[in-house]
Structure 1
């Protein structure tokens, strides 16, 4: 059984690496392998983030849980970071009862990360959305993680290695469907990428990472959800620095290239 899974994984990567594989087909293959459980074990141990804000003179503390690193496929010994369009990212989030983070959450995650990696940009090119460049960037990050492998595989919170696809009001309101990206914090804490929504929702390049956040959160010990907090006039400031976000998700659309 184990050898079949390894063989299937090798076949998957061969198919993903095929330059003729259409984007939609590639993402269908990735979604299928995720549903089959082909995800590293270390990603499944979520990390708690706590944040307190004073609202109307009262302290409010929110606790939310995030994946310790950006999403990858494979296993602890052999995995690869997998950039996705927001179409696939939302499907994966829905499947795992998770959301994508907001800009504010990305900043909080970086602040709380115990493994902070320096960003390693690859010069822009026509191939930056291909699996071959995904793998090239993956290998650069793995080199950074070599000395930190034990800590990383123990699910320590890791950041700085990718930009985030984020939840934002800027997802909506444009003539075409968009992806909103942000982050890639440098060691000094400053992000390379400001909030940006000029790519359509079929864009996914090597620098994009998918950080999942459990839908369930706790505010002053009371269970609620990310969507409810973001839609709340008063509590939204706990997770958002752009006010209320009533549509805290991406539309799952067709792949219109």
Structure 2
């Protein structure tokens, strides 16, 4: 898909959002803009078996194809709204934005795979559907608002932590943790604490090398295991990484804006960023084209 296609889709999303976000002043639910999951779509465990021995490039092609074709659990499809107000230089802003209730996954509600991936692929998926990746500030806000706060479950670091078997092992650990909470909180409620987030940050462009920037994995007291870190390349992903997509279109004082544009605004960037203006709120996609 071309950048022209992405741009056209994003503009279309904004127009649709103007029609759908508010009706007579009432906020409406937002949906993940993917096709319905096909009746013959493969399960998370079948997908795990298909990609287990693939190289990274082929693995990520398969992940992209599955997600864009709609092989995503139903519990991820209704976005969770997060609302807050903030005063900046005597101007008050009332904001509502929408996030995935959990990390991006392949498969069904009964058999899903919370899918670690490189920031290149995450950015490509986000742009294809008019979404963005979170900032550090958004990650913290998601954790604060989460109905379910899971305790981190690290796996001791080894050379295998970037492989599908270890990613699947962690996936099953998290499903076990989540199962305990299902009676009080079904799968479609906002959950946090179980993975590090791939985030957008000025650190993406601070070095000559292209890094992935990660943050989060909050303890139960709200302290993150992982401070903002940019020590891995943008072709790196391990079992602990999660992709939390955030709808780019948001409501600010009942008007539609784009998070990615607000982040570039000197006055308003602090609505979504605690590091000031983020001039390039995205990962470069030259390797993914």
TM above 0.5, one fold? yes
Q: Is the Cα contact below 8 Å between 1:87 and 1:202 reproduced in 2?
A: yes
**Alpha carbons of 1:170 and 1:115: their partners in 2 closer, same or farther (altered >3 Å)?**
same
Q: Is the Cα contact below 8 Å between 2:72 and 2:108 reproduced in 1?
A: yes
Quick one: which of 220, 224, 230 aligns to 1:187? Answer: 220
Displacement of 1:30 in angstroms is 0.6
Cα distance per residue 1:186-245 (max 9 Å; x no partner): 000000000001110001000000000001011111111001110111000110000001
In structure 2, what is the Cα distance between the partners aligned to 1:136 and 1:145? 14
2:52 aligned with 1:17: yes
Cα distance per residue 1:28-79 (max 9 Å; x no partner): 0110111211000110110111122111123212211000001110011110
Moved more, 93-102 or 53-62: 53-62
- Higher RCO, 1 vs 2 (CA within 8 Å, ≥6 residues apart): 1
Q: Is the Cα contact below 8 Å between 2:196 and 2:217 reproduced in 1?
A: yes
In structure 1, what is the Cα distance between the partners aligned to 2:184 and 2:113? 18
Give the aligned CA root-mean-square deviation in angstroms. 1.6
Cα distance per residue 1:62-117 (max 9 Å; x no partner): 21100000111001111011001001000110122110000000000000000000
2:260 aligned with 1:227: yes
Name the SS of the counterpart of 1:231 in structure 2.
Answer: coil
Q: Is the Cα contact below 8 Å between 1:74 and 1:80 reproduced in 2?
A: yes
Q: Which residue number in structure 1 is paired with residue 145 of structure 2?
A: 112
Q: Is the Cα contact below 8 Å between 2:204 and 2:230 reproduced in 1?
A: yes
Cα distance per residue 1:152-177 (max 9 Å; x no partner): 54511000000000010000131111
**Structure 2: which 5+ residue stretches go unaligned?**
1-37
Quick one: which of 54, 59, 62 aligns to 2:92? Answer: 59
Quick one: which of 75, 87, 92 aligns to 2:108? Answer: 75
Q: Which residue number in structure 1 is paired with residue 130 of structure 2?
A: 97
1:86-165 superposed matches below 5 A: 86-150=119-183, 153-165=186-198
Q: Is the Cα contact below 8 Å between 2:41 and 2:107 reproduced in 1?
A: no
Q: Is the Cα contact below 8 Å between 1:152 and 1:158 reproduced in 2?
A: no
**Structure 1: which 5+ residue stretches go unaligned?**
none
Displacement of 1:254 in angstroms is 2.4
Name the SS of the counterpart of 1:124 in structure 2.
Answer: coil
Name the SS of the counterpart of 1:203 in structure 2.
Answer: coil
Cα distance per residue 1:120-179 (max 9 Å; x no partner): 010110000000000000111011011223555451100000000001000013111110
Displacement of 1:12 in angstroms is 3.2
**Alpha carbons of 1:104 and 1:91: their partners in 2 closer, same or farther (altered >3 Å)?**
same
Displacement of 1:5 in angstroms is 2.7
Q: Which residue number in structure 2 is paired with residue 5 of structure 1?
A: 41
Displacement of 1:9 in angstroms is 6.2
Q: Is the Cα contact below 8 Å between 1:99 and 1:215 reproduced in 2?
A: yes
In structure 1, what is the Cα distance between the partners aligned to 2:286 and 2:253? 36
Name the SS of the counterpart of 2:124 in structure 1.
Answer: helix
Moved more, 121-130 or 48-57: 48-57
